Amino acid sequence: MRDPRIEQLARVLVQYSTHVAEGEKVLIEATDVPTEIVESLVDEVAGRGGLPLVSLKSNRILRKLYGLDSEPLMSLHGEVERFRMEKMDAYIGVRGFHNMHELGDVGADGMQTYQKHWFHPVHMDYRVPKTRWVVLRWPTPAMAQAAGMSTEAFEDFYFDVCTLDYAKMSVAMDPLKALMDRTDRVHIKGPGETDLRFSIDGIHAVKCDGEYNIPDGEIYTAPVRDSVEGVIAYNTPTHYQGTTFTDVKLTFRGGKIVEATSSDPERINQILDTDEGARHVGEFAIGCNPYITWVMKDTLFDEKIAGSFHFTPGAAYDDCDNGNRSAVHWDMVVIQTAEYGGGEIWFDDVLIRKGGQFVLPELEGLNPDELKGV
């Protein structure tokens, strides 16, 4: 018997996140996930008159392909998948992993070749700007272990977070989006030498309220490309291209990362040297999901943590474009709650959040205690 929570999640993804309508073509791309969620998605798409196309993948097989570091091979995959993606109206990506370090030994060159010739042309250049899409992780024992939880407790947490009422959360986000749209100067302060200044003038904000990522709960914009000055010390682990980095600290001058240190200084600088845009920032976002309050070493969860923000080296999104182009898009997270050392966010010399709590009256509806009652 299929878990009813899986069917509920499939309804959220198909009806709310991607708004599938009759006759629309939907790519369901499933990587290392149970067949039950794929079956539920097929049933839900077909039940609304859509045309489900299914692609099943394995991280172990992808590791083999990336490790070949072959431009002709990656270009071939990119061309074939781009052709398929161009036929789609919507995309649902469900991604699991049995070993979060499965791609850790591929090597920087192999991952850069994949990013440039496969991932970027298919996903960043086409899927993100030109389809209705949603991406989510699937709960696995490996994720539960990374989160420091039992498998059963993690699954319960996962379904609670992923099936919350995102439509109501969206309404609570409106005042922060409006404030970001009229803000020029941002100043972020925090422990570990964090003192960062940049402008978001003229670059509108976008609500992430369950239509693109599940779980969701962030509002993002982008810094004016050359405006970033100062230092940011990230206080959470960040997992990218198969490697987990800790103690990441970036120094900016004129919008460019001029110094990068971490637990693996060689690898982080290899990634940031992928192309010219990788040393500039394409996204600044504020997290506000009230049910996600601790680090899970999974970006799709960690970037939504209540009281957090992320500051992203690499490509900007088309709907919030500061002109930065890169094969890299690396969401790195800072948590500013008291448990993680605190911190402040200022907009145009006005304090808007301190210690992870919004302090302006019009924004208090986004604080965790308020949102949990939404």
pLDDT the model gives residue 101: 79
CATH number of the domain located at residue range(s) 4-162 in this protein: 3.40.1830.10
Per the CB < 8 A criterion, the answer to whether 268 and 262 are in contact is yes
pLDDT the model gives residue 38: 98
What are the Cα distances from residue 84, in Å, to 27, 133, 186? 9, 14, 41
What is the pTM (predicted TM-score) of this model? Answer: 0.76
Q: Is 90 helix (H, G, I), strand (E, B) or coil?
A: strand
pLDDT the model gives residue 1: 64
Tokens of 238: 């960040």
pLDDT tens digits, one per residue of 108-146: 899 999 999 999 999 999 999 999 999 998 998 988 888
Alpha helices per DSSP H over the chain: 4-11, 35-47, 59-67, 71-85, 108-114, 128-130, 141-147, 151-162, 166-181, 265-272, 299-302, 368-371
Q: Give the bridge partners for 226, in sequence order.
A: none
Per the CB < 8 A criterion, the answer to whether 331 and 337 are in contact is no
pLDDT the model gives residue 97: 83
Tokens of 82: 């781009």
Per the CB < 8 A criterion, the answer to whether 33 and 94 are in contact is yes
Residues in the chain predicted with pLDDT less than 50, given as ranges, are 374
pLDDT the model gives residue 297: 80
pLDDT tens digits, one per residue of 287-346: 999 989 888 888 888 999 999 999 999 999 988 999 999 989 999 999 999 999 999 999
Phi-psi region of 303 (alpha: psi -120 to 50; beta: other; left: phi over 0): alpha
Q: Would you list the domain boundaries of the chain? A: 4-162, 166-371
